[in-house]
Chain A
């Protein structure tokens, strides 16, 4: 290891950062970012990360020039970690560039869920490989975030939701994306955390990996329950669609096989959606022997019944308190109302009327299907028309709600220099 080798390595880190700055600037000026305060805020966090890296890289360059300030071994350690930090930053910029076409309407859908559970959470939706969510501090190293911003984040956290483009582009998957928002509601309201505390002795005795499994499976159950309470049958339909695309098997932190679908069916029954629950069970049954074999082969893990029951009771109590449980009468009135906006001519097989409707978003998602009773959406064009109608209706509702976006900023966005 020589000083000149380290110096050229530090130089190349500085060059990588220079190119990243250009990409960050381009992103900052894109129309999608300008239209979405959440994205502006997210980019300001990337800018904090960038500026921290810039300062560290400059320090590294100085160190390599002044041999006496740090020994080569220390400089080498700094270069290694800096290289990795810049690599992460570069990939985050890359994924942000890919996420420009996530529709703002999806933001309104998720914002509506947070609002219903009285959770002040800022968030961004990024194009990822799998459906997943984490908070900003889990993504960007804490040391890169200034103290005052960190203090703000502790009061009101910033969630990052990853979703594959095929899901963000098609609104029929959106109720399933609500599940990711629900993880953040759980985190903020500490539903899983507080419930598990009551079982603390048992969990503490477990090795770390088993304890993590228990926590993870509890978090999944809570997110499913919150989502089904708020989005009702539409969540079930969407979850089934995602299930059929094989999504849940990707991550071992999730219930495997049809287990999750059966939880959804059982909670629908509790909510009074008896027919929908029965239909959903039937659909799950129809998935056939193959899925059951898969359940068996994977030996799906679960958590003990008393803990499951306590979780269910706690989520129900919170959903009731927030008046967030969708009822069959809500959907029935939605179906009646939607008649004024949506009409399908069965003889000519076309929509006669498809007028955007200013309805609560979850009613919108739950009403159009029962209204059409399977008459439409037999072909791709009709699905496209319905999707457009959903988007236009969300736009209409969101326009009335737009002042809520004023409160998004946690701090003044950083100027990228």
Chain B
């Protein structure tokens, strides 16, 4: 089945057929080829998690940077604007399959930004806030891990010619 995708300066005058299966494959390959950017998101979120117990490092700043990008891309996804960072947008769409989940993810990211912001400024944070922040980050990381691993494996198979040796 083909999807009618409008594509013009004044949509929807000109239309074109793009096979959704091929399109999905194109996107998946694009993400795999940007393995460094995918790993960067994973790494930055782990740094954010780490900063809950090691506040006197630059980890919270790295965490805040990635959370800011995620927050902006959630807004972009809801307003249907062109992505600023298509890998972050891809991650968001994989973490939330509908509007309600995206709304919930947005609230969680805002909470994390608040807690990490306090850590970054060495302000006091309540134990409840810290525990809630940690719980959210661990849940996001558990969802993100298999996605990032899949793309890294695909990258190594497609470009580096190394057989997939991992689970």
Contacts and interface: CB of A to CB of B under 8 A. Distances in A.
A209 B89 CA distance: 11
A77 B29 contact: no
Interface of A: 69-71, 73-74, 77-78, 80-81, 84-85, 87-88, 91-92, 94-95, 128-130, 132, 134, 136-143, 162, 198-214, 216, 250-253, 298-299, 301-307
A346 B9 CA distance: 59
A69 B8 CA distance: 55
Interface of B: 2-3, 5-12, 14-20, 22-27, 29-30, 33-37, 39-40, 42-44, 46-47, 49-50, 52-54, 62, 80-83, 86, 89-90, 93, 134, 138, 141, 145, 148-149, 152, 156-162, 166
A412 B129 CA distance: 44
A208 B83 contact: yes
A298 B18 CA distance: 11
Given A81-B42, A132-B33, A306-B9, 14 more contacts: A70-B54, A84-B148, A91-B162, A94-B160, A129-B161, A136-B36, A138-B35, A142-B37, A205-B11, A206-B5, A208-B89, A210-B20, A299-B22, A301-B22
Contact of A302 (B10, B16, B20, B34): B16
A202 B40 contact: no
11 contacts: A70-B54, A71-B53, A77-B49, A85-B39, A141-B40, A141-B43, A143-B40, A212-B27, A301-B19, A303-B16, A306-B14
Contacts of B43: 81, 85, 141, 143
B53 to A, nearest CB: 4
Contacts of B23: 207, 209-210, 212-213, 301
Contacts of A199: 7-9
B14 to A, nearest CB: 4
A138 B160 contact: no
Contact of B26 (A81, A84, A206, A216): A216
A130 B27 contact: no
Given A95-B160, A132-B159, A206-B5, A70 B37 contact: no
Contact of A74 (B49, B86, B159): B49
Contacts of A214: 5, 7, 18
B145 A80 contact: yes
Contacts of B34: 134, 138
B137 to A, nearest CB: 8
A252 B80 contact: no
Contacts, number: 180
Contacts of A95: 160
Given A70-B54, A209-B23, A299-B19, A88 B35 contact: yes
B80 to A, nearest CB: 6
B33 A138 contact: yes
A77 B46 contact: yes
Contacts of A304: 7-8, 14-16
Contacts of A211: 82-83
Given A70-B54, A78-B46, A210 B3 contact: yes
Nearest to B79: A204
A203 B36 contact: no
Contacts of B35: 88, 138-139
A250 to B, nearest CB: 8
A85 B37 CA distance: 12
Contacts of B50: 70, 74, 78
Contact of B30 (A92, A137, A253, A302): A253
B67 to A, nearest CB: 14
B62 to A, nearest CB: 6
Contacts of B7: 199, 202-203, 206, 214, 303-304, 307
Contacts of B26: 209, 212-213, 216, 252-253
A126 to B, nearest CB: 9
Contacts of A129: 157-161
B29 A253 contact: yes
A21 B10 CA distance: 56
Contacts of A205: 6, 11, 80
Contact of A88 (B17, B39, B47, B161): B39
A169 B19 CA distance: 37
Q: Which 8 A-B pairs have the closest CB atoms?
A: A141-B40, A209-B27, A129-B161, A202-B7, A252-B25, A209-B23, A202-B11, A213-B23
Contact of B18 (A73, A141, A162, A210): A210
Contact of A212 (B30, B156, B159): B30
